[in-house]
């Protein structure tokens, strides 16, 4: 058994960006091993529901680093390898095939797995989930011959997939359990804008219903809703959330609660073992709460932070939650935590595709949504959230002045 100075369990974005950061900070050949259940070297996840799914991006275009990059730097990449258990005391990881990997420093970055529907017909061919490159390839292949599709879930993934499918001239239905899209994040006004936008582009939204069964013989052919409605379809894409992959760590003495519990340095309850990315439940000092973020920016930032910590730059992880999305011809960004805002101010016009939303709590900016707005709004939003600058709702609401001038 070989022992590595650094061992990363999980071959997603955390692994790719941690490797890049370590290399930039002087990683030597043979010091890093990445154990990945995936069949490909680490790649960017956002394109899977956007450009890659639409066929605009090739596999090579979304790789964080090429396979040759890892080989040339002496990074051991073990693909198609499932970790079964971790023994912190003996400093080794055992795989499902019985192989062992030793480590001095371990980073857990196994990410999440899609939450599955637990209803009749859920295993029919054509019922698809999106998490990996292979998943995206399967959906893309299925879309090619489809005339109608049902997308289940009104969150970021569901909305992005529905956008891609509808633009392929496929009859698309988006089913959401809630009364509006992205209800956990968007204001009612913002949700209404997107619902109108989707409807105007041929997407049929069915709200406040659940799925009771998926029907078909050799493949999925229809979706039965709780309101008695039956929707014919050639494929179903399910985006109802994800759960952190923590089963390999459950008997390792590592605290697990809504992911892997870490401290402000992303360290677990076991020495020499850290966690990053979708599974990391970390203390957010900016908002004074624990959070686990499933998004590109968090994975990248935590990967880089861990690599810096391993090479002499140990600092608390402080980061503004950040999300972005592309749907149809729109791109938008979201910073902060909308849950903490007691008042929401809209700049611009929600009847148009250029507006921003600002969540304020006692003169503190908690979150901001920005779409097709002046650059100063994109620049000031994260700056004000992090600095806890005092802002007034009246100033934000005054559309006659740019924010830079009003600040």
Q: At what angle do helices 156-166 and 133-144 cross, to 10 degrees?
A: 30
Calculate mean pLDDT across residues 204-208: 97
Taking 60 as the threshold, does the pLDDT of residue 406 lie above it? no
Taking 90 as the threshold, does the pLDDT of residue 2 lie above it? no
Cβ–Cβ under 8 Å, residues 12 and 48 = no
Q: Residue 400: its pLDDT value, please?
A: 80
Cα 108 to Cα 260: distance, rounded to the nearest angstrom: 9
Q: Which two tokens stand for residue 141?
A: 């292949």
Quickly count: other Cβ atoms within 10 Å of residue 129's Cβ. 20
Mean pLDDT of all residues in the chain? 95
Q: Residue 393: its pLDDT value, please?
A: 87
Cβ–Cβ under 8 Å, residues 58 and 40 = no
Q: Residue 247: its pLDDT value, please?
A: 94
Taking 90 as the threshold, does the pLDDT of residue 389 lie above it? no
Cβ–Cβ under 8 Å, residues 327 and 372 = no
Q: Which two tokens stand for residue 118?
A: 């637990």
| CA 60 to centroid of chain Cα atoms | 21
Calculate mean pLDDT across residues 75-85: 97
Q: pTM of whole model > 0.75? A: yes
Contact partners, residue 316, CB within 8 Å, separation at least 6: 264, 265, 285
Cα 160 to Cα 251: distance, rounded to the nearest angstrom: 37
pLDDT tens-digit map of 266-322: 999 999 999 999 999 999 999 999 999 999 999 999 999 999 999 997 899 999 999
Cβ–Cβ under 8 Å, residues 36 and 79 = yes
Cα 52 to Cα 29: distance, rounded to the nearest angstrom: 32
What letter does residue 282 receive in the DSSP assignment?
E
pLDDT tens-digit map of 209-249: 999 999 999 999 999 999 999 999 999 999 999 999 999 99
Taking 90 as the threshold, does the pLDDT of residue 53 lie above it? yes
Q: Residue 374: its pLDDT value, please?
A: 92
**Per-residue burial over 292-331, b = 16 or more CB atoms within 10 Å of its CB, e = otherwise:** bbbbbbbbbbbbbbbbbbbeeeeeebebbbbbebbbbeee
Contact partners, residue 20, CB within 8 Å, separation at least 6: 64, 65
Q: Residue 168: its pLDDT value, please?
A: 96
What letter does residue 82 receive in the DSSP assignment?
-
Closest by CA to 277, choosing from 327, 215, 319, 222, is: 319
Cα 22 to Cα 304: distance, rounded to the nearest angstrom: 8
Taking 90 as the threshold, does the pLDDT of residue 108 lie above it? yes
Q: Residue 58: its pLDDT value, please?
A: 95
Q: What are phi and psi of 186, to 5 degrees?
A: -75, 155
CA angle 130, 132, 135 (to 5 degrees): 55
Cβ–Cβ under 8 Å, residues 346 and 192 = no
Contact partners, residue 217, CB within 8 Å, separation at least 6: none
pLDDT tens-digit map of 353-371: 999 999 999 999 999 999 9
Q: Residue 407: its pLDDT value, please?
A: 52
Q: Residue 404: its pLDDT value, please?
A: 72
Q: Does residue 175 sit in helix, strand or coil?
A: strand
């Amino acid at each position: 058994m070989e022992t590595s100075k650094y061992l990363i369990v999980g071959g997603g974005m955390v692994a790719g960006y941690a490797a890049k950061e370590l290399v930039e900070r002087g990683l030597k050949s043979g010091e890093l091993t990445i154990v990945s259940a995936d069949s490909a070297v680490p790649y960017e996840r956002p394109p899977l529901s956007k450009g890659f799914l639409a066929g605009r991006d090739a596999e090579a275009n979304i790789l964080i680093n090429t396979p040759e990059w890892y080989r040339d730097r002496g990074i051991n990449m073990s693909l198609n390898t499932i970790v079964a258990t971790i023994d912190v005391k003996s400093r080794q990881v055992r795989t499902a095939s019985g192989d062992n990997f030793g480590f001095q420093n371990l980073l857990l970055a196994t990410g999440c797995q899609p939450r599955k529907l637990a209803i009749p017909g859920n295993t029919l061919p054509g019922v698809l989930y999106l998490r990996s490159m292979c998943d995206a390839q399967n959906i893309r292949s299925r879309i090619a011959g489809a005339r109608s599709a049902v997308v289940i879930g009104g969150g970021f993934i569901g909305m992005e997939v529905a956008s891609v499918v509808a633009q392929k001239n496929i009859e698309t239905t988006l089913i959401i359990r809630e009364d509006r899209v992205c209800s956990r994040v968007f204001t009612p006004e913002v949700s209404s804008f997107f619902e109108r936008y989707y409807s105007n582009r041929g997407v049929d939204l069915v709200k406040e219903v659940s799925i009771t069964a998926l029907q078909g013989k050799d493949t999925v052919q229809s979706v039965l809703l709780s309101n008695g409605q039956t929707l014919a379809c050639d494929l179903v894409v399910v985006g109802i959330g994800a759960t952190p992959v923590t089963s390999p760590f459950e008997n390792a003495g590592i605290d697990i609660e809504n992911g892997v519990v870490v401290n402000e340095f992303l360290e677990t309850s076991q020495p020499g073992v850290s966690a990053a990315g979708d599974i990391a439940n970390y203390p957010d000092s900016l908002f004074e709460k624990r959070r686990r973020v499933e998004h590109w920016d968090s994975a990248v930032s935590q990967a880089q932070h861990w690599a810096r910590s391993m090479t002499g730059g140990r600092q608390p992880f402080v980061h503004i939650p950040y999300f972005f999305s592309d749907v149809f011809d729109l791109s938008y960004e979201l910073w902060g935590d909308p849950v903490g805002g007691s008042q929401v101010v809209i700049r611009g016009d929600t009847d148009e595709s250029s507006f921003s939303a600002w969540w304020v709590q006692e003169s503190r900016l908690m979150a901001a949504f920005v779409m097709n707005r002046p650059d100063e709004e994109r620049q000031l939003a994260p700056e004000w959230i992090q600095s806890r600058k005092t802002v007034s709702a009246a100033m934000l609401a005054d559309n006659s002045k740019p924010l830079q001038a009003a600040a």
